[in-house]
Structure 1
């Protein structure tokens, strides 16, 4: 498990490109046959990827890093499959996830394993985990069951559909909020006009991008903006003080996961376009 420590806005404004990438960009999450995990001290997020290509991959807790006997001893997790069909087994119960389906697994479940329906065309499980203090039921939500919200316009290059999976009015959790945004063809911008939310942090995973495509992810304080070049299936850690917008060379999809002081999706500190620098 890779460990990332929290940074502050005063220091961050002095970082060069390489340092920004080391602190905030997760470049390689999906490795065939492996479980990859990144532990961030920003709201204690664990972000990961599992690509089963043979035997099942078990979700395990590195004892030195987590101090737990099993991964969900003090945690909850949201899982979204971005690959071919796969199965997540939770304490002996199987949940089949097609592409873009979500599974929430609550505190106290001890045995979580990932399988691909076809090892030659594997599932690609994206994981977001946060600390938890109460156990909620394991729930699967297919993308066909998630209520879509259509927002934006082609005029502003941000016509998109938002799917909320884990949230106050959907799957219940302790603090994890998780969903997915799909931009329609011809649209490239997300989360602009931008905002911060000082009461919680966020992690983005960008995917459904061509091999030569990139997203210019905007970050930093509203008056001290920076950018990171993000490629397919790479993730961004966004602290509470940072904006988190992006513009791509074509349309793309991203998964967002939030955790912190509350679970109100609309809790945002909007930034006027005239104040952005």
Structure 2
């Protein structure tokens, strides 16, 4: 049995009054990847669970989490697992999947106990589901690649869409990651919101002395959080979610909410940002 840290939903009026420590306590997530441990954070934004599992020399089992109020973790949930480490294994029920770094496993509702082993560093995202979709391993060559940006704007990048209607069927979880080219540092700018869905980011592929300044808040009330390697952040539906790093980096994005339309965005004009 694993317990999850709970993060309650914060409205935008309250959020703009918070200082740095208070902002971090509500939205920043650190220490997800400790060897021999499964760490979970239960967000009240669309009930998304964000976590990490590093099995090391043993096997880690994810079966029941009290916060869900169900007899099994995946009884009424679906899950996505991204491996940001070396090759590892994820066993779902009686079937095992080998994940290389950069690959994502989609696990459908009702799939049973999940076990982690091998040299992987597994990033976990789970959202409530109302129907079961087939479990599927999505390799990098299976993902939809979307090149965007330019060197001139320091945002040259490739978006890899994994759990996405064009690639894999899911109930409500949408998930993938973005890799910035060398010399590019900006992500998701111009910024947007999507009030129908919350989002979470995991920043990775950073060295210890590199940081990303993650921008959040309403377009007229922006705030920032300083993010290190393998730090995650919760983005409320009313908040922008963009940032700039001291060097290039990668970030995993995931969404849960009313639809799975990746392009459903309310753009924030650059002139309206404050």
TM-score range, shorter chain: over 0.9
**Structure 1 equivalent of residue 145 of structure 2:** 148
Aligned-pair CA distance for 1:60: 2.5
Q: Which runs of 4+ in 1 moved over 4 A?
A: none
**Structure 2 equivalent of residue 49 of structure 1:** 52
Paired residue for 1:213, among 198, 203, 210? 210
Listed as ranges, the matches of 1:78-227 within 5 Å are 78-116=80-118, 122-227=119-224
Please give the per-residue CA displacement for 1:187-240, whole angstroms capped at 9, x wherever unaligned.
000000100001100000000001110000000000000000000000000000
The alignment partner of 1:22 has SS state of helix
Tell me how far apart the structure 2 counterparts of residues 143 and 231 of structure 1 sit (CA, whole Å).
25
Aligned-pair CA distance for 1:144: 2.2
Aligned-pair CA distance for 1:54: 2.1
Aligned-pair CA distance for 1:110: 1.1
Scaled by the length of structure 1, the TM-score of the pair is: 0.97
User: Unaligned stretches of 5+ in structure 2?
Assistant: none
Tell me how far apart the structure 2 counterparts of residues 61 and 183 of structure 1 sit (CA, whole Å).
36
Greater CA drift, 161-170 or 11-20 = 161-170
Please give the per-residue CA displacement for 1:149-204, whole angstroms capped at 9, x wherever unaligned.
11100000000001000111111111000011000000000000100001100000
**Structure 1 equivalent of residue 229 of structure 2:** 232
**Structure 2 equivalent of residue 256 of structure 1:** 253
Listed as ranges, the matches of 1:58-77 within 5 Å are 58-63=61-66, 65-77=67-79
Tell me how far apart the structure 2 counterparts of residues 238 and 62 of structure 1 sit (CA, whole Å).
23
**Structure 1 equivalent of residue 35 of structure 2:** 32
Tell me how far apart the structure 2 counterparts of residues 42 and 147 of structure 1 sit (CA, whole Å).
27
Please give the per-residue CA displacement for 1:113-163, whole angstroms capped at 9, x wherever unaligned.
0011xxxxx210001100001001000011122121111000000000010
Aligned-pair CA distance for 1:28: 0.9
Aligned-pair CA distance for 1:61: 2.0
Aligned-pair CA distance for 1:91: 0.8
The alignment partner of 2:165 has SS state of coil
**Structure 2 equivalent of residue 119 of structure 1:** none
The alignment partner of 1:14 has SS state of coil
Paired residue for 2:20, among 14, 17, 41? 17
Is 1:7 matched up with 2:10? yes
Scaled by the length of structure 2, the TM-score of the pair is: 0.98
The alignment partner of 1:100 has SS state of coil
Task: Tell me the C-alpha RMSD between the 2 structures.
Answer: 0.7
